[in-house]
């Protein structure tokens, strides 16, 4: 094979300079914000000015100052440190859960579409039934039974959002599966893994990525919901949702302790959607 960008196409990453994959500024801003939070999540813990659980100020709901960049919370803890650490939980858990949910869902969806028949029917009905359980209730039950830890949270959230990803990918893959190029590949004698990986996946990638973005946002919200109920990340650590919850009384005082975590949640979810909605046209519209 030659080495031109077009022919090395295992999984094409949306880098702007990869011929024809340029995308607009809205998308770039989104991507930049996502990368920013990812960096914060990875390296934030070495930059926290104060320990996360430590009371640093006897004044609760303190304002912005040179010492406490984002003010202090209801116990007088430094919000800036807590937001930096919260990024680890919010971004990390949501990213891990969404990756898991979409990978499993999309792979199963494509397998079901290609194999069809009994396998498809059984799997689809089973996951439909699973989908019938309210997501927050399911989360409550699992966390109450097993106890809250990060792997449990990731797996629970992945399990909640996997059936949706499966449904979505299967519906797209069924359409691609009837195309002539898939028939040609079958007639050539290709096995299912090849059909899934090379013939179907590239053609559903755009919509699947858009779906992944939406799911990511939902997971951030459910994680906040679980934390709000006290079942998410356990104290003294807190994800952003928990930060909002524990400082909610400060809202009437205009405390930065509640505003900054809210801004963090908003900036992450909006930037993910800005990026997904402005993916390079080549990826987004390929199936059309």
Partner 1 sequence: MMTDTPLVSVRDLRIGAVTDSGRKIEIIRGVDFDIVPGEILALIGESGSGKTTIALSLMGHTRRGCSIEGGTIRVGKHDVTGMTEKQRARLRGTEVSYVPQSAAAAFNPSKRIMDQVVETTRIHDLMPRARAEAHARDLFRALALPAPDTIGDRYPHQVSGGQLQRLSAAMALIASPELVIFDEPTTALDVTTQIEVLRAFRRVMQESGMAGVYVSHDLAVVAQIADRIIVLKGGETQEQGTTEQIVNDPQHPYTKELLAAFDPVPHVPLAGRDDSADTPVLEVRDLCAGYGAIKNGEPAAKVLDNIECRLMRGRNLGVIGESGSGKSTLARAVAGILPAYRGSVLFDGHTLAPDLAQRSKEELRRAQIVFQLADTALNPAHSIANIIARPLRFYKGLGGAACEREVIKLLDMVHLPAALRHRLPSELSGGQKQRVNLARALAADPELILCDEITSALDTVVAAAILDLLKELQSELGLSYMFISHDLSTVEAICDDVLVMYKGKVVEAMPAARMSEDATHPYSRLLISSVPQLDTGWLAGLEQDPELLAAFSER
Q: Are 281 and 27 in contact (CB under 8 A)?
A: no
Least separation in angstroms between residue 287's CB and partner 1 is: 8
Q: Are 188 and 199 in contact (CB under 8 A)?
A: no
Residues 203-262 that bind partner 1 (CB under 8 A): 203, 205
Q: Which stretch binds partner 1 (CB under 8 A): 55-63, 99-107, 148-156, 200-208?
A: 200-208
22 vs 136, beta carbon nearer partner 1: 22
Q: Which stretch binds partner 1 (CB under 8 A): 4-12, 24-32, 129-137, 161-169?
A: 4-12
CA–CA separation, 39 vs 88, rounded Å? 10
Report residue 92 as tokens: 């990390």
Q: Are 61 and 257 in contact (CB under 8 A)?
A: yes
- By CB under 8 A, name the one of 39, 184, 253, 266 that touches partner 1: 184
Is 3 one of the binding residues for partner 1 (CB under 8 A)? no
8 vs 125, beta carbon nearer partner 1: 8
Is 180 one of the binding residues for partner 1 (CB under 8 A)? yes
HSE-CB of 70 using CA atoms within 13 angstroms:
23
Is 172 one of the binding residues for partner 1 (CB under 8 A)? no
Q: Are 226 and 143 in contact (CB under 8 A)?
A: yes
78 vs 199, beta carbon nearer partner 1: 199
Tallying the residues shown for the chain, one arrives at 288
Q: Tokens 């975590």 identify what position?
A: 261
Report residue 115 as tokens: 């194999």
Interacting residue ranges for partner 1, rule: CB under 8 A:
1-2, 4, 6-7, 9, 179-181, 183-190, 198-199, 202-203, 205, 286
């Amino acid at each position: 094979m030659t080495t031109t960008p077009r022919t090395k196409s295992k999984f094409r990453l949306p880098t702007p300079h990869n011929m024809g994959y340029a995308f607009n500024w809205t998308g770039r801003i989104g991507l930049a914000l996502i990368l920013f939070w990812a960096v914060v999540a990875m390296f934030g813990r070495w930059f926290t000015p104060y320990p996360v659980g430590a009371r640093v100020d006897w004044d609760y709901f303190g304002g912005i100052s040179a010492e406490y960049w984002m003010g202090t919370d209801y116990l007088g803890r430094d919000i800036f440190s807590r937001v930096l650490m919260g990024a680890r939980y919010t971004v990390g858990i949501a990213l891990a859960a969404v990756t898991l949910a979409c990978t499993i869902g999309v792979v199963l969806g494509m397998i079901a579409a290609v194999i069809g028949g009994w396998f498809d029917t059984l799997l689809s009905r089973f996951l439909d039934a699973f989908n019938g359980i309210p997501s927050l209730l399911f989360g409550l039950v699992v966390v109450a039974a097993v106890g809250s830890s990060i792997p449990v949270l990731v797996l629970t959230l992945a399990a909640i959002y996997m059936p949706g990803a499966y449904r979505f990918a299967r519906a797209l893959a069924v359409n691609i599966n009837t195309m002539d190029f898939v028939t040609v590949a079958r007639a050539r004698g290709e096995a299912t893994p090849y059909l899934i990986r090379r013939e179907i996946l590239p053609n559903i990638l755009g919509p699947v990525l858009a779906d992944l973005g939406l799911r990511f946002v939902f997971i951030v919200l459910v994680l906040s919901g679980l934390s709000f109920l006290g079942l998410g990340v356990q104290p003294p650590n807190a994800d952003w949702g928990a930060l909002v919850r524990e400082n909610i009384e400060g809202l009437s005082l205009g405390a930065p302790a509640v505003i900054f975590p809210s801004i963090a949640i908003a900036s992450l979810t909006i930037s993910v959607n800005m990026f997904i909605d402005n993916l390079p046209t080549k990826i987004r519209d390929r199936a059309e």
